[in-house]
A and B are shown apart, each in its own frame.
Chain A
Amino acid sequence: MEPATAQRTRRPAWVAGVAPLAVLAVAIGLFVLLDAPGLNRIGVPQEELAVERTVLKPDEIQLHVRNEGADPVQVRQVIVNDAFAPFDQTNSRVGRLGGSEIDIAYPWIEGENYGVVLLTSTGATVDHEIEAAVETPDAGLDFYGLMALIGIYVGVIPVAIGMLWLPWIRGVDARWIRFLLAFTVGLLGFLAVEALLEGTELAGTGAKAFGGAALVWLGAAGAFLALAGVDAWLRGRRAGDGGAGAAAADGPGLASAGYRAAFLVALGIGLHNLGEGLAIGSAYAVGSLALGATLVVGFALHNTTEGLAIVAPVAQERRARLRRLALLGLLAGSPAVLGAWIGASAFNPSLAALMFGVGAGAIAQVVVQIAPAIRDGAGRLLHPLGVAGLLTGLTVMYLTGLMVSI
C-alpha cells in the first residue's frame, strides 16, 4: 500500500492538467488522418478572397489578398477592365487565412477607375474596384518625412496647443474643474464611439475570417482590461513605496492621482490617435486624401480639445511639471505619426480595425477613471454643470469632426 501511495504523490500535479490536452491532440490527429470519418462534404467549395491592400506602381497593379473562406483558392486568370492581363503570384494555392501577392502587368492611367477580377480554378470571381488610380508612394525617406509632418500637424501640435489651457484651469473654481472633466468625458465618449464605428467599417473591408467587427470589440475589451491592470499596478506600486517614496517624490499622494489620470487620458488619446493616423496614412496611400489646409485646420481644432482633456485632471496639482506634461503631450499626439507610417506603408484593414478597437477600449477605461472626479459635493455625477460639460464635449467634437471626414 505504502509504495503505491508514494508513487501517486510523486507524480507531479501538472500531468493531470496536461493529460486531456494530449488526448485532444491524439483525437484531432486521428480525425484528420482518417479524413473526418462519417462526415461528407456537401455543396461546392466556398472560395472567398479578400483584397487587403492595393499597391499601384507604373504599369503594375499589386493586390494583397487573403483567403477568408473555408476552402483553398487558386487564382488562375486575372481580368482588368474586361481584358485578361498577365500576372505573377506568390502563392498559387492560397489556404485558409493564407495570403498571396498578385502582381498584374497593366498600363493603368492615373485618375481612372479599374475593375479587377480574379478568376479562380472553378470559374468563381473575386471583384475588386480601384477608384481613381494613383501611384502608391514609395516608402522612401521623403515619404516617411511627409507622413511624420502630417502626424505632427494633426496629432502633436494640436494636443500641445490644447495643453496651454493648463494655467487657466489651475486658476478656476472647483465647480468649473468638474465642468471641464465632464467636458473631457463627453469628448472621450465621442471619440470612443467614433473609433468603434470606424473600426467596424474597416473590419467590413478586411478578411472576415479574422473576426471582422469582433476584432474591434476584442481590441476594445483587451485595451480596457490592460489599462485597468496598468492602473491597478500603478496604485499598488505607490502604496508599496510608502513614506520613503513620498519623501523622495516631490508631492503628496493627492497630487499624483491627478497625474495618473492625466497619464491614462494621454495614453487613451494616444491609442486613438494611432488609429486616426492609420486612417490618414492609408487614405493618403490610395490617393483619396485631399491634403490641404482645411483638413489640417479641422484636425487641429478637433485634437486641440484632446490637449485640454489631458491637462484637466492635473488642474489641482500644486506644481505644473513641464517635462512631464511635454511627455504626456507626446504620448497623446505622436502615435498619429506612427499610425500614418503604418497606414501608408503596410495597411491591413483587420489590424486597423483591431487598433481602432484598442483606442476605443482605452478611452472607455479612461472615462471610468476620471468620471468619479466629476461628482459634486452631494456625490451626484449628473449635476447640471456635469451634464452641460458632457453635452458641450459631445457637441464640440461633433462640430470639429465635420471638418475632418476622410
Chain B
Amino acid sequence: MEFGSDKLSRRRLLGGAAAATAALPVLHELVPHEGLHNAVDASAAEPHMAGMGGMAAHGGAGHAAHIGTVGQVDPRSNGFDPQEMLRDFDEGRMVGGVREWELVAEEKQIEVAPGVKYAAWAYNGRVPGPTLRAREGERLRVRFTNGSKHPHTIHFHGIHPSSQDGVAGVGAGNIEPGRSTSYEFVAEPFGLHLYHCHTMPLAEHIAKGLYGAFIIDPKQERPRADELVMVMNGFDTNFDRSNEVYAVNTVAFDYVHRPVRVKRGELVRIYLVNTLEFDLLNSFHIHANFFDYYPTGTRLEPRDFTDTVIQGQGERGVLELRFPYTGRYMFHAHVSEFAELGWMGFFQVED
C-alpha cells in the first residue's frame, strides 16, 4: 500500500535512484560546466604554449588570423635552429688535398611542433643533417661513426664506386653501433644531391631523420646569390606510416612564426630537397612570384619558369628568383594538406 501512497512522489523516487549511484565520481558530469573558460588558462603556465610570435592568440577573433600550431618551438631545446639551418653550409676542412667531414649518427629527442617530441635519429645532432658542400672534381672523405644503438650507413647520391655506396652487404656495409668507416669518392656530377642512411628498413631509417642536402658546386661558379637550403620533410609521430607533421627544415610553421628575411631585387637561390617518406609527392609553391627551376641542379640553364614545382621522394632542384616588391610573401607545399600540417612559411622582403 505504502509505496502507492501520496507521500511517495516521483521526484523522491528518482532521487532515491540517483542516490544509489551518487558515490560514483562520474555523476559530477551532470553538473553544468559553466564558467570553465574563465577558471583555467593552462596554456599560460606552459613555456612553449605561451607567446604566439605575434601571429595569433587564444580566443575570439584571434583565431581567424591564426595559422598553424599553437605555441612555438624553442630552438635552444632542439640544439638547432631552422633559421640558421637555412644559410648553414658545411664545407668541411681540407686534409692533404681531400675535403673531409666527420658525421656521427645519434639518437635524439627533437621538438617537431610546439610541445610535440619525436625520438629522431640524427646526423651530428640535427635534422636534417649538415648541408655538405664541395666543388666538382674534389676528392671527398666522410668519416662516419655510428653513435646510436642501431646499425646505420651513409648513402650519397652521386657517381662513385660501389664500395663507397653505403648500402648493406656492399663495401663497408652496415656500420654497427660504436663502429666507424670512411666514404671516399670524387665530387661528381655537379648539382644538388642528398645523402641518407640506407639500412633496412629503409623508410624508417630515413623518416627518423637520417638525411641531409649534399651540394656539389660547378667548376664554373653560379652567380652570386643569397643562398638558402630547404629540406622538405615530415614526421610520423605515432608510427602509423603516415606523417602527422610536415615542414621545411623540421619545425612545423617555423617560417610562418619567423619569416625568412631576404632583400628586394637580390638574387635568391633555394636548394630544395624532398626527403619526405610515406607520401609519394611533395611540392613547393611561391606566392606573387615566379622562379627559374634547375632540376637536380645538374645544368646551368633553367628547365622551367614557374611558381610551383613537384618533387617525388628523393628528388631535388635549384630555384632562382628575385622579389621585385617588399612585403610578406607566403611559400608552401601546394599539397594543401601538407601546408596546413606545417609545410608553410613566409618570405619577408625588405629594402
How far, in Å, is A209 (CB) from chain B's closest CB?
11
Interface range on chain A: under 10, 10 to 19, 20 to 34, or 35 or more? 35 or more
List of A residues within 8 angstroms of B341 by Cβ? 79, 82-84
Contact A86 B1 (CB under 8 A): no
Contact A76 B24 (CB under 8 A): no
Q: How far is the CA of A240 from the CA of B237 in the complex (A)?
A: 70
Q: How far is the CA of A269 from the CA of B247 in the complex (A)?
A: 58
| 9 interchain pairs, CB-CB under 8 A | A76-B71, A77-B69, A88-B58, A121-B116, A237-B2, A323-B6, A327-B10, A331-B10, A354-B24
Known interface pairs A84-B252, A226-B20, A270-B13; A76-B114 also in contact (CB < 8 Å): yes
Contact B113 A354 (CB under 8 A): no
Contact A119 B58 (CB under 8 A): no
A19 at the interface (CB under 8 A from B): no
Residue on B nearest A223 in the bound complex, by CB: B20
Which residues from 306 to 343 on chain A have a C-beta closer than 8 Å to any C-beta of chain B?
321, 323-324, 327-328, 330-331, 334-335, 338, 342
Known interface pairs A76-B114, A123-B117; A90-B36 also in contact (CB < 8 Å): yes
A89 at the interface (CB under 8 A from B): yes
Q: Which of A167-175, A282-290, A344-352 contacts B (4 or more CB under 8 A)?
A: A344-352
A31 at the interface (CB under 8 A from B): no
Mask for A196-232, Cβ within 8 A of B = 1, else 0?
0000000000000010000000010011001000000
Contact B116 A120 (CB under 8 A): yes
Q: How far is the CA of A238 from the CA of B1 in the complex (A)?
A: 8
Contact A259 B3 (CB under 8 A): yes
Contact B237 A83 (CB under 8 A): no
Contact B244 A105 (CB under 8 A): no
Which residues from 225 to 268 on chain B have a C-beta closer than 8 Å to any C-beta of chain A?
235, 237-238, 240, 244-245, 252-253
Which residues from 3 to 44 on chain B have a C-beta closer than 8 Å to any C-beta of chain A?
3-6, 8-10, 13-14, 17, 20-21, 24-27, 29-33, 36-37, 39-43
Q: How far is the CA of A351 from the CA of B24 in the complex (A)?
A: 9
List of B residues within 8 angstroms of A350 by Cβ? 26
A74 at the interface (CB under 8 A from B): yes
Residue on A nearest B338 in the bound complex, by CB: A82
B91 at the interface (CB under 8 A from A): no
B70 at the interface (CB under 8 A from A): yes
List of A residues within 8 angstroms of B17 by Cβ? 271, 274, 358
Contact A86 B63 (CB under 8 A): yes
List of B residues within 8 angstroms of A1 by Cβ? none
B49 at the interface (CB under 8 A from A): yes
Known interface pairs A101-B36, A105-B63, A327-B8; A90-B42 also in contact (CB < 8 Å): yes
Which residues from 171 to 207 on chain A have a C-beta closer than 8 Å to any C-beta of chain B?
none
Complex partner residue of A328 from B4, B21, B31, CB under 8 angstroms = B4
Contact A86 B56 (CB under 8 A): yes
Closest 5 CB pairs of A and B: A123-B237, A76-B115, A83-B340, A105-B63, A92-B42
Contact A354 B26 (CB under 8 A): yes
B68 at the interface (CB under 8 A from A): yes
How far, in Å, is A257 (CB) from chain B's closest CB?
10
List of B residues within 8 angstroms of A222 by Cβ? 20-21
Mask for B326-347, Cβ within 8 A of A = 1, else 0?
0000000000010011100000
A367 at the interface (CB under 8 A from B): no
B280 at the interface (CB under 8 A from A): no
B59 at the interface (CB under 8 A from A): yes
Q: How far is the CA of A323 from the CA of B26 in the complex (A)?
A: 36
A128 at the interface (CB under 8 A from B): no
Residue on B nearest A80 in the bound complex, by CB: B340
How far, in Å, is B335 (CB) from chain A's closest CB?
10
Residue on A nearest B21 in the bound complex, by CB: A354
How far, in Å, is B193 (CB) from chain A's closest CB?
30
A145 at the interface (CB under 8 A from B): no
Complex partner residue of A125 from B20, B69, B237, CB under 8 angstroms = B237
17 extra interface residue pairs, beta carbon distance < 8 Å, beyond A84-B341, A105-B63, A274-B17: A76-B114, A77-B70, A82-B337, A91-B42, A92-B46, A92-B49, A101-B33, A101-B36, A123-B116, A234-B3, A256-B1, A271-B17, A321-B4, A324-B5, A331-B13, A345-B32, A351-B27
List of A residues within 8 angstroms of B245 by Cβ? 119
A251 at the interface (CB under 8 A from B): yes
Contact A346 B36 (CB under 8 A): no
Contact B244 A119 (CB under 8 A): yes
B299 at the interface (CB under 8 A from A): no
B80 at the interface (CB under 8 A from A): no
Which residues from 54 to 104 on chain A have a C-beta closer than 8 Å to any C-beta of chain B?
59, 74, 76-79, 82-84, 86-93, 97, 101, 103
Contact B235 A123 (CB under 8 A): yes
B66 at the interface (CB under 8 A from A): yes
A122 at the interface (CB under 8 A from B): yes
Contact A259 B30 (CB under 8 A): no
A383 at the interface (CB under 8 A from B): no
List of A residues within 8 angstroms of B10 by Cβ? 327, 330-331, 334
Known interface pairs A76-B116, A84-B340, A222-B20; A327-B4 also in contact (CB < 8 Å): yes
Complex partner residue of A79 from B24, B31, B244, CB under 8 angstroms = B244
List of B residues within 8 angstroms of A321 by Cβ? 4
Contact B1 A249 (CB under 8 A): yes
Residue on B nearest A347 in the bound complex, by CB: B29
Contact A86 B29 (CB under 8 A): no
List of A residues within 8 angstroms of B69 by Cβ? 77, 84
Q: How far is the CA of A390 from the CA of B154 in the complex (A)?
A: 76
Complex partner residue of B70 from A86, A331, A348, CB under 8 angstroms = A86
Which residues from 31 to 49 on chain A have a C-beta closer than 8 Å to any C-beta of chain B?
none
B278 at the interface (CB under 8 A from A): no
Contact A84 B68 (CB under 8 A): yes
